[in-house]
Structure 1
């Protein structure tokens, strides 16, 4: 099947669409993972994840890191969310939310994770980088 392409429209779209600004993201944790042992459930691990981009650090403090969270990152990264208030480390499938507006305004690939302050994309973690992040988090709790 042949799809005709309107070159004028394509050129207009390219000229009016701002290009993505790629950023290198470095993840680290603050020293001292706090293990919270529970009698009838698995332990919780509270830690502070830091994402550094453009020489700024964005902290996600005291988050419960467990197998369920990592499993969600592996199976459905689009609905992954860390952070109760900005900044967020999140997927892109949050329809009718501020995150959806940020994703659309910044042309973020829909299979990525982003670090956002609620208004801007501070960093992008592309789909092929998610398994590396997931393995890194697994190693923290094992």
Structure 2
């Protein structure tokens, strides 16, 4: 399912959206949305997801926040991954990867999401918090 966004409206909406506060993690979206125009397809809108943990800021730059990303998080959070290189916002089901080693070394519950620098767990988003994160993402794109 494709989501069409009015760039001005989307920017206004993001500026007015309060940060999501989970137990130790705050999620925000940068108000500047980058529009990538395409000749034969609808434009893409790139967002920067900002995560604050213990006064440290991590940015996941240039991600399409759309129904496909949210659907992936709803259907199988264990295979969710945002980040091409550390830090990652990740599920826990990445066998034979550095993420799986971090999960095992830090006794992370397998139904959680983590934010990791590739060696350490920066934050854990527990399974009961994932629906809150999903709803926050949905509110941003609607």
TM-score by length of 1: 0.78
Distance in 2 of aligned mates of 1:40 and 1:109: 43
Q: How many residues align?
A: 120
Q: 1:40 Cα deviation (Å)?
A: 5.5
RMSD between aligned residues? 1.5
Q: Which residue of 2 aligns with 1:140?
A: 140
- The range that moved more, 113-122 or 24-33, is 24-33
Q: 1:31 Cα deviation (Å)?
A: 1.3
For the pair shown, the structure with the greater C-alpha radius of gyration is 1
Local SS of the residue matching 2:123: strand
The runs of 4+ residues in structure 1 deviating greater than 6 Å are none
Distance in 1 of aligned mates of 2:105 and 2:130: 22
Q: 1:64 Cα deviation (Å)?
A: 1.6
Is residue 2:70 matched to residue 1:76? Answer: no
Local SS of the residue matching 2:132: helix
- The range that moved more, 44-53 or 76-85, is 44-53
What are the ranges of 5 or more consecutive residues in structure 2 without an aligned counterpart?
A: 1-22
